[in-house]
Amino acid sequence: MMVRFSDILQDDKKQGGETLASKPEKVTESPQNDTRIKKVRMTDSQILSSEEIPDFSDPFSANRYSEDVRTYYAGLLEKAEEIRDRVKANQGLSHSPILSLLHDIIDQDLIDQLYEYALSIPSDDELPAHSISVTLASLKVGKGMGYDTKKLLRLGFTAFLENVGMYKLPDHILIKTGKLSPDEIAVIRKHPELSAQIFSSMGEVFTQLGEVALQVHERSDGSGYPRGLKGEEISEAASIIGLIDVYMAMIKDRPYRDKYIQTQAVKSVLDFGKGKFPPKVVKGFLNQISLFPVNTHVKLNNGSIGRVISTDQRQPMRPTIELLYDGLGRKIDKGKVIQLSESPLLHIVGSVDEKELD
């Protein structure tokens, strides 16, 4: 389906014909949405025992992600890399393929699964992968805040392209491993304006999204850049993307520091976010990303250690865990899964640095 950007920017529904809110005739059903999967509940004695952890019928196995999820992620990565190459070569960008891809992801309700997949697979620190993670996390937060399809498309499209101005900067600055000089920092801080120019080059209708991209590094207290905007001068979409951008940067290794444990990153973002982001956005972030995000390693009260593979917004402190070590510290060869929402006597007692594991 051809997605017209004028429809996305239009607040009122178009009368007659197909709109972006329309459902496509064919919807691919994902195995993860099959409610017929039988839930298995641990007995109290099994929960408290450190000798043996029961084997679960695992809807979250190593192959838990559908072919749709893998295909759409590959499509996002291909598009992000193409954008990088075209911007570096001073070639124009086409908006339709990006919008079509995002529309299908939103319409088929794949945002959460794609977000979990993006955080669960090994990825490099290159900007294309970062842009995908920021896009999916922003969509997840926007969805949790009640955004409709049009608002999600505007949010996702802006998040996907908000960093394109970085590709215009000198490579020697972008790949520098040491501390940046004040002059180099000043160059880096030009990228929002460069991104806004690229948005505008796609047509006049993109100017307002370029303005959102320009505001991503602004902060509510006026401490951001490039214009030092404050409070309601900053669009909500820019604040969502800006908060997610900070979080995603924290959970990746950098030349000058190791990555944060995700639980520490969430706490740091919440502390950092006070006064810098609207409370509504901070609350939306916590509700959707959780204190124990996907791919966090945690210790349970029976001594076992596992990795978070799925979160539950209704019970954010009780995610689904893939168990890696039993209560005696023995590695579990075949990963077993427990849904904490189904096991009231079992709970998380803390996070674990994955570097401490074998």
DSSP for 115-126 reads HHHHHHS---S-
Confidence of residue 15 (pLDDT cuts 50, 70, 90): very low
- Cα–Cα distance measured from residue 350 to residue 264, given in angstroms and rounded to the nearest whole number: 11
Residue 174 has pLDDT above 50, yes or no: yes
Closest CA to 114 of 78, 140, 90, 83: 140
Supply 177's token pair: 């491993």
Amino acid at 24: P
Confidence of residue 339 (pLDDT cuts 50, 70, 90): confident
pLDDT digits (tens, 9 = 90+) for 195-214: 999 999 998 889 999 999 99
Strand partners, 339: 320
Token pair 């955080």: residue: 119
Q: If 0-12 CB within 10 Å is exposed, 13-18 middle and 19+ buried, where does residue 114 land?
A: buried
Say which residue, 150 or 4, is predicted with more confidence. Answer: 150
Say which residue, 63 or 243, is predicted with more confidence. Answer: 243
Strand order in the sheet with 297-300: 331-339, 320-325, 305-310, 297-300, 348-352
Residue 131 has pLDDT above 70, yes or no: yes
Say which residue, 167 or 358, is predicted with more confidence. Answer: 167
Residue 35 has pLDDT above 70, yes or no: no
What pLDDT shows up at residue 2?
A: 43
Percent of the chain scoring above 90 in pLDDT? 44
Chain centre to alpha carbon of residue 37: 26
307, 322 contact by CB (below 8 A): yes
pLDDT digits (tens, 9 = 90+) for 210-229: 999 999 999 999 999 999 99
- Cα–Cα distance measured from residue 305 to residue 323, given in angstroms and rounded to the nearest whole number: 6
Whole-angstrom distance between the N-terminal and C-terminal Cα of the chain?
48
- Cα–Cα distance measured from residue 175 to residue 177, given in angstroms and rounded to the nearest whole number: 6
Closest CA to 140 of 158, 157, 152: 152
Supply 306's token pair: 């596992």
Work out the average pLDDT over 4-23. 45
Confidence of residue 8 (pLDDT cuts 50, 70, 90): low
Q: Which residues contact 71 (CB under 8 A, 6 or more apart)?
A: none
Long-range contacts at 82-89 (CB < 8 A, ≥ 24 apart): 83/128, 83/161, 83/164, 83/167, 84/127, 84/128, 84/164, 84/167, 87/164, 87/167, 87/168, 87/198, 88/167, 88/168
What pLDDT shows up at residue 256?
A: 46
What pLDDT shows up at residue 4?
A: 52
Residue 13 has pLDDT above 50, yes or no: no
Chain centre to alpha carbon of residue 197: 25
Supply 72's token pair: 């759409």
Work out the average pLDDT over 135-163. 96
What is the average pLDDT score of the chain? 80
Residue 28 has pLDDT above 50, yes or no: no
What pLDDT shows up at residue 212?
A: 97
Which residue ranges form the domains of the chain, and what is each CATH number? 64-290 (1.10.3210.10)
Supply 193's token pair: 């304006």
Work out the average pLDDT over 64-87. 93
What pLDDT shows up at residue 329?
A: 85
- Cα–Cα distance measured from residue 251 to residue 246, given in angstroms and rounded to the nearest whole number: 9
- Cα–Cα distance measured from residue 312 to residue 133, given in angstroms and rounded to the nearest whole number: 19
- Cα–Cα distance measured from residue 187 to residue 169, given in angstroms and rounded to the nearest whole number: 7
Number of CB atoms found within 10 A of residue 334's CB: 9
Q: Which residues contact 24 (CB under 8 A, 6 or more apart)?
A: 1, 104, 107
Confidence of residue 101 (pLDDT cuts 50, 70, 90): very high
pLDDT digits (tens, 9 = 90+) for 37-48: 333 344 433 433
pLDDT digits (tens, 9 = 90+) for 301-331: 899 998 888 877 777 778 888 898 888 888 8
